[in-house]
């Protein structure tokens, strides 16, 4: 079960009073299936509805109501399993995980304990500050989400909304293969990219559609494993890193002071940046699982799995390798451009049949810069990939210079429209008519006789005249043509 | 009837009762443990049957679970959902506070 004998790089060791410590990290990621209806009922899953308007009597745990499995959710679990290079179990079964909480009306969560739908797999992650690392997947299983408790509407009561109750989740359990906060967040980021590319989960961490429980323990580098603590429901990559850092530090301090770690569930408070104990130890992990008698086992045909396999889209790693190959861009750029599907699609449309490097520079430079500044998502970009591609065409065929292109881009970003329309409307077409340029060059030479003499001695001063002509033309003169004519006139 | 090997004692009954949110009076713990041991012992007899080479039966009928299409066919019945709630407000269930 424990695949990793790997010892962390020294740079990832944590310094304590008594020496170095190594972090052992495993994650359980809950990814909400992007289905219309819930896992076992026909109620809607859409985010943000009025409380309790998307609840069936099944989701409310009413007596006598029977769950029926949503086929689409099964399909997404299998699709995700294939994307994680994992074993698909044709036989799986649903179990009841029993516990009492105000937002769990059934008194149990329907989950998969003994026979999950997906078994072991493996993915490769690319932490920003280190080499690629292989992370084992222990399993993926389907389960229901609970409802939502709201504690701030009353001083002595809790308000409960069951809209989320029964929504399908995929719980993806990693092996304890990560050794630093950065590796843990790179892993979640990679998972997010995979489920988004597959279309099985939207990966929206802000809405809680993808969230992580983090298991952390510490040990002497390469030494005996320590006792782990689980930090529940961490919902951003930054919080994952902070929570791990804090929790590891807490454990090290306890051990170095001669104490021992209690295995327990803790909660991360992002405001105070600390973790604190959540459940009393005696009740923890006694869920009394047993097979749900309301549900027959799930038995899939191999053909069901094969059909899904045949329609798998290209995954981020494969796409990255293809971008490097096909568009000749550096691996780093390809990584950024394939981090999610929308970005990859945008770049590919822009770069297709054009210079891939120039396209990458424009997408990652001008476009990302402008979007960032305006606080707009790429999906809502006022400049479409087609229009950005059209702009690059006009640079390539010398209709406009790279500098004017930035002006065109700004106008595009402000008001939309194609490059051709904007160039035409604003009269930004580059002057390539040598007669007109010659006249402007002559004018500049005549106006600055002293500079002419200097430039003849020192051709580096030519730039002054280029500048004058470009200014006179409003930036529209073709700089190569200006240079050529200048040199001819000065006999250089 | 003798207690089975993994029999329950009063302590186990107390724990299971707490996990199930059942109130069991102190004086009932030992009698309940005895009754449970009786039931467990009776079921234990099944172990006498030789099941070598027999596939574990996971349900009474050998069919796979029926599946339904991913369509919204339910919900939008808040009044019915909240009808039996002792207290509700603004569309929420209202229950005694669950955190400190």
Tell me if A1 is assigned to some domain. Answer: no
* Residue A403 burial (CB count, 10 A): 12
Residue at a domain's end among A272, A305, A338: A305
The confidence score (pLDDT) of residue A282 equals 52
Query: pLDDT tens digits, residue range A105-158?
Result: 999 999 999 999 999 999 999 887 778 899 999 999 999 999 999 999 999 999
Distance from CA of B96 to the nearest CA of A (A): 5
Decide if B92 touches A, using CB distance below 8 A: yes
Least confident of A479-488, B55-64, B76-85: B55-64
The Cα A268–Cα A69 span in angstroms is 34
Q: Return the pLDDT at A450.
A: 82
CA angle A440, A463, A422 (to 5 degrees): 60
CB-nearest partner of A295 from B65, B74, B91: B65
Confidence class of residue A469 from pLDDT cuts 50, 70 and 90?
confident
Query: How large a percentage of chain B has pLDDT more than 70?
Result: 92
Better pLDDT: B70 or A197: B70
Checking if the pLDDT of B56 tops 80, the result is: no
The complex's ipTM? 0.83
The bridge status of strand A69-70 relative to strand A229-234 is: unpaired
Task: Enter the DSSP assignment of A293.
Answer: T
Distances (CA, A) of B95 to A147, A212, A448, B88: 13, 28, 87, 8
Does residue B12 sit in helix, strand or coil?
Answer: helix
Contacts with A116 (C-beta within 8 Å, 6 or more apart), sequence order: A89, A92, A139, A140, A141
pLDDT exceeds 90 at position A50: yes
Same domain, A318 and A459: no
Span A360-387, average pLDDT:
93
Determine the residue of chain A that is closest to B93 in CA distance. Answer: A160
Between chain A and chain B, the number of residue pairs with CB atoms below 8 A apart is 139
- The tens digit of pLDDT for each residue in B58-72 reads 677 778 889 999 999
pLDDT band for position A285 (50/70/90)?
A: low
Q: Are residues A252 and A116 part of one domain? A: yes
- The verdict on A133 and A254 lying in the same domain is yes
- pLDDT reading at A464 higher than 90: no
Beta strand pairing status for B67-68 and A121-125? unpaired
Q: What are the φ/ψ torsions at residue A196 (nearest 5 degrees)?
A: -70, -40
Which residue of chain A is at minimal alpha-carbon distance from B59? A296
Average pLDDT over residues A368-395: 93
Residue A290, pLDDT score: 93
Tell me what the mean pLDDT of segment A300-322 comes to: 94
Residues A148 and A255 in one domain: yes
**A312 or A280, higher pLDDT:** A312
Average pLDDT, integer, range A356-376: 94
Residues in chain A with CB shorter than 8 Å from the CB of B13 are none
Q: Which residue among A54, A68, A158 sits closest to B97, beta carbon to beta carbon?
A: A158
A154–chain B nearest CA distance, Å: 9
Contact A295, A94 (CB under 8 A): yes
Does residue A195 or residue A277 have the better pLDDT?
A: A195
Contacts of A161 in chain B (CB under 8 A): 91-93
Last residue of a domain, one of A426, A452, A476: A426
pLDDT of A284 reads 54
B4 pLDDT tier (thresholds 50, 70, 90): very low
Cβ–Cβ below 8 Å for B75 and A55: yes
Are A74 and A211 within one domain? yes
Query: In chain B, where are the structural domains located?
Result: 10-47
Structural domain total, chain A: 3
> Do A76 and A158 share a domain, yes or no?
yes
Q: Does B95 or A450 have the greater pLDDT score? A: B95
Structural contact between residues A363 and A347, judged by C-beta atoms closer than 8 angstroms: yes
B58, B68, B91: residue with CB nearest A52? B91
* Judgement on whether residues A271 and A319 belong to the same structural domain of the protein: no
| Structural contact between residues A41 and A166, judged by C-beta atoms closer than 8 angstroms | yes
Summarize the confidence of residues B70-83 as an average pLDDT.
96
The pLDDT value given to residue A479: 78
Which residues in B28-54 are b (16+ Cβ under 10 Å) and which e? ebeebbbebbeebeeebeeeeeeeeee
Can you tell me the mean pLDDT for A419-427? 83
* Predicted local distance difference test score (pLDDT) of residue A279: 63
What lies within 8 Å, CB to CB, of A160 at 6+ separation is A102, A103, A147, A148, A149, A150, B92, B93, B94, B95
Regarding predicted confidence, which is higher, A280 or A112? Answer: A112
Strand ranges for A190-297 from DSSP E: 210-219, 229-234, 265-269, 274-277, 290-291
pLDDT band with cut points at 50, 70 and 90 for residue A390: very high
A447: domain CATH number? 1.10.10.410
Q: To which H or E segment does residue B70 belong? A: none
Check whether B1 has a pLDDT greater than 70.
Answer: no
Do A342 and A254 share a domain, yes or no?
no
Question: Same structural domain for residues A225 and A365?
Answer: no
User: Which chain A residues are closer than 8 Å to B66 by Cβ?
Assistant: 68-69, 296
Torsion of CA B52, B58, B64, B68, to 10 degrees: -160
Q: Quick check: helix, strand or coil at residue A248?
A: helix
Range of the domain at A440: 434-490
Answer yes or no: do A159 and B94 touch at CB < 8 A: yes
Average pLDDT, chain B: 88
Q: Do B72 and A98 touch (CB under 8 A)?
A: no
| pLDDT value at residue A283 | 57
Residue A282 and residue A340 share a domain: no
Confidence of residue A325 (pLDDT cuts 50, 70, 90): very high
State how far Cα A333 lies from the chain centre.
Answer: 15
Q: What is the pLDDT of residue A432?
A: 67
Let me know if residue A4 belongs to a domain: no
> Are A360 and A475 part of one and the same domain?
no
Residue A265 has pLDDT above 50, yes or no: yes
> What pTM value is reported for the model?
0.78
Per-residue confidence at A85, pLDDT binned at 50, 70, 90?
A: very high
Listed residues A305, A327, A343: the one ending a domain: A305
Per-residue pLDDT at B31 = 96
Pairing of strands B67-68, A69-70: parallel
Question: Does one domain contain both A323 and A195?
Answer: no
């Amino acid at each position: 079960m424990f695949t990793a004998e790997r010892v962390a790089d020294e740079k990832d060791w944590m310094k304590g009073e008594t020496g170095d410590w190594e972090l052992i990290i495993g994650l359980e990621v809950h990814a909400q299936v992007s289905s219309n209806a819930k896992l076992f009922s026909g109620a809607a899953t859409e985010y943000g509805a009025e409380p309790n308007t998307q609840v069936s009597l099944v989701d409310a745990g009413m007596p006598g109501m029977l769950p029926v499995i949503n086929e689409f959710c099964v399909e997404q679990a299998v699709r995700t399993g294939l994307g994680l290079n994992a074993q698909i179990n044709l036989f799986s079964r649903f179990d009841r995980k029993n516990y009492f909480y105000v937002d769990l009306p059934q008194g149990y969560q329907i989950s998969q304990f003994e026979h999950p739908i997906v078994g072991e797999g493996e993915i490769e992650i690319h932490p920003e500050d280190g080499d690629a690392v292989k992370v084992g997947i222990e399993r993926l299983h389907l389960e229901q989400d609970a409802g939502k408790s709201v504690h701030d509407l009353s001083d002595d009561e809790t308000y409960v909304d069951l809209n989320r109750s029964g929504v399908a989740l995929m719980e993806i359990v990693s092996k304890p293969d990560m050794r630093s906060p950065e590796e843990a967040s790179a892993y979640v980021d990679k998972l997010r990219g995979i489920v988004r590319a597959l279309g099985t989960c939207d990966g929206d961490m802000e809405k809680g559609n993808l969230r992580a429980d983090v298991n952390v323990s510490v040990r002497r580098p390469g030494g005996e494993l320590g006792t782990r603590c689980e930090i529940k429901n961490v919902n951003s990559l930054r919080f994952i890193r902070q929570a791990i850092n804090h929790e590891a530090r807490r454990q090290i301090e306890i051990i170095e002071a001669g104490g021992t770690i209690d295995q327990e569930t803790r909660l991360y408070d992002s405001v105070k940046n600390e973790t604190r104990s959540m459940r009393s130890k005696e009740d923890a992990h006694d869920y009394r699982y047993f097979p749900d008698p309301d549900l027959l086992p799930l038995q899939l045909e191999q053909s069901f799995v094969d059909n899904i396999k045949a329609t798998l889209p290209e995954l981020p790693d494969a796409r990255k390798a293809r971008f490097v190959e096909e568009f000749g861009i550096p691996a780093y750029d390809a990584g950024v451009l394939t981090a999610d599907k929308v970005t990859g699609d945008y770049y590919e449309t822009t770069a297709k049949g054009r210079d891939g490097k120039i396209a990458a520079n424009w997408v990652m430079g001008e476009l990302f810069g402008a979007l960032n500044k305006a606080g707009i998502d790429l999906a809502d970009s006022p400049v479409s990939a087609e229009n950005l591609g059209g702009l690059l065409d006009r640079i390539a065929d010398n209709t406009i210079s790279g500098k004017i292109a930035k002006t065109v881009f700004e106008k595009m970003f402000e008001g939309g429209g194609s490059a051709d329309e904007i160039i035409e409307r604003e009269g930004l077409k580059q002057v390539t008519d040598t007669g007109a340029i010659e006249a402007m060059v002559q004018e500049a030479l005549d106006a600055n006789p002293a500079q002419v003499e200097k430039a003849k001695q020192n051709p580096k001063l030519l730039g002054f005249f280029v500048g004058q002509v470009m200014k006179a033309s409003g930036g529209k003169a073709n700089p190569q043509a200006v240079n050529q004519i200048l040199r001819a006139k000065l006999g250089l | 009837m003798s207690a089975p090997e993994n029999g329950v004692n009063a302590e186990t009954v107390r724990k299971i009762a707490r996990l199930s949110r059942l109130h069991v009076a102190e004086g009932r713990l030992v009698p309940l443990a005895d009754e449970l041991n009786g039931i467990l012992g009776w079921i234990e007899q099944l172990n006498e049957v030789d099941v070598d080479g027999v596939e574990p039966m996971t349900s009474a009928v050998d069919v796979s679970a029926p599946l339904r299409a991913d369509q919204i066919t339910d919900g939008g019945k808040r009044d019915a959902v909240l009808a039996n709630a002792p207290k509700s407000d603004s569309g929420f269930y209202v229950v005694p506070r669950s955190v400190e």
